[in-house]
Amino acid sequence: MKPLFDLSEVSVGQHLYWQFGEYQVHGQVLITSWVVIFLIITLSLSANLNLKVTTPEGLQNFTEYITEFIRDLAKTQIGEEEYIRWVPFIGTIFLFVFVSNWSGALLPWRLIELPSGELAAPTNDINTTVSLALLTSIAYFYAGLRKKGFAYFKRYIEPAVFLLPINILEDFTKPLSLSFRLFGNILADELVVGVLITLVPLVVPIPLMLLGLFTSAIQALVFATLAGAYIGESLEGH
């Protein structure tokens, strides 16, 4: 296990480290993650404290639209029988990734100076995206085991026993692709915009920032869609 621990300690760039016992964590990621969670909770509470059943308006309309969108997404990927159970998980994943991605483009994180490192979108850090991907992996294993019991593992030898190594490898590639796709896209977008703002600070970065908002939203949708697809796949037969 030592090579895995050594790999997990590899760090790119400067970071604000906080010490928790024997462990170091990236403090700037926790700060921005807490801000994102605070924004989501504040919006949810302010929109739904005084619910109107007959004629919803304002923020309630907005949050109901988001809820319907997430329900439809979960139903499409998981199926009508099981989807309602997974709406909270899919919705939480989508909202956290979406708000995190947009926070990197809309909030002036870099104006806040830290002793070391700098603030950026939580999804700009590989630790965040890997954590989300591992949560997704745990979710689809739980879904399959909950429905099928140990018979769930028959999927590794279907439709033929010789596919066992490939089916096992697939469970490792799913979280890898989820985490590196999200991390790579958000990091690349922020780096490109940052460089252009330094070189051409007036007009050129604005269209790219708008494009970044669009691609950030697409990345959140892709992540949530794949999470739902993996859960739906574990609930189905081969």
Pair 203, 140: CB distance under 8 Å: no
Per-residue confidence at 151, pLDDT binned at 50, 70, 90? Answer: confident
Q: Give the mean pLDDT of the chain.
A: 83
Exposure pattern of 42-61 as b/e (b: 16+ CB <10 Å)? ebeeebeeeeeeeebeeebe
Site of tokens 């439709």: 159
Whether 236 has a pLDDT exceeding 90, the answer reads no
Peptide bond into 159 cis (omega under 30): yes
Pair 13, 118: CB distance under 8 Å: no
Residue 69 lies in a domain: yes
| Domain encompassing residue 147 | 15-235
pLDDT number for residue 2: 53
**Proportion of the chain above pLDDT 90, given as a percent:** 30
Q: Which of 49, 52, 45, 96 shows the shortest CA–CA distance to 70?
A: 96
Residue 2 lies in a domain: no
pLDDT number for residue 141: 92
pLDDT number for residue 134: 93
Whether 15 has a pLDDT exceeding 70, the answer reads yes
Rounded to two decimals, the pTM is 0.86
Residue 100 lies in a domain: yes
Residue 27 lies in a domain: yes
Residue 190 lies in a domain: yes
Q: What is the spatial distance between Cα 88 and Cα 227, in angstroms, rounded to a whole number?
A: 12
Per-residue confidence at 237, pLDDT binned at 50, 70, 90? Answer: low
pLDDT number for residue 4: 45
Question: What is the DSSP secondary-structure string of 171-221?
Answer: HHHHHHHHHHHHHHHHHHHHHHHHHHHHHS-SSTHHHHHHHHHHHHHHHHH
pLDDT number for residue 118: 78
Residue-wise pLDDT tens digits, 79-127: 888 889 999 999 999 999 999 998 887 877 777 777 777 788 899 888 8
Span between the terminal Cα atoms of the chain, in Å: 32
Task: Pull the structure tokens for residue 165.
Answer: 């190594």
Helix (H, G, I), strand (E, B) or coil at 19: strand
Site of tokens 């926070």: 103
Residue 7 lies in a domain: no
**Proportion of the chain above pLDDT 70, given as a percent:** 87
Residue 8 lies in a domain: no
Q: Which of 176, 171, 220, 180 shows the shortest CA–CA distance to 73?
A: 220
Task: Pull the structure tokens for residue 135.
Answer: 């949560």
pLDDT number for residue 202: 63
Residue 1 lies in a domain: no
With 0-12 CB in 10 A as exposed, 13-18 as middle and 19+ as buried, what is 231? Answer: buried
Domains identified in the chain, total number: 1
pLDDT number for residue 98: 94
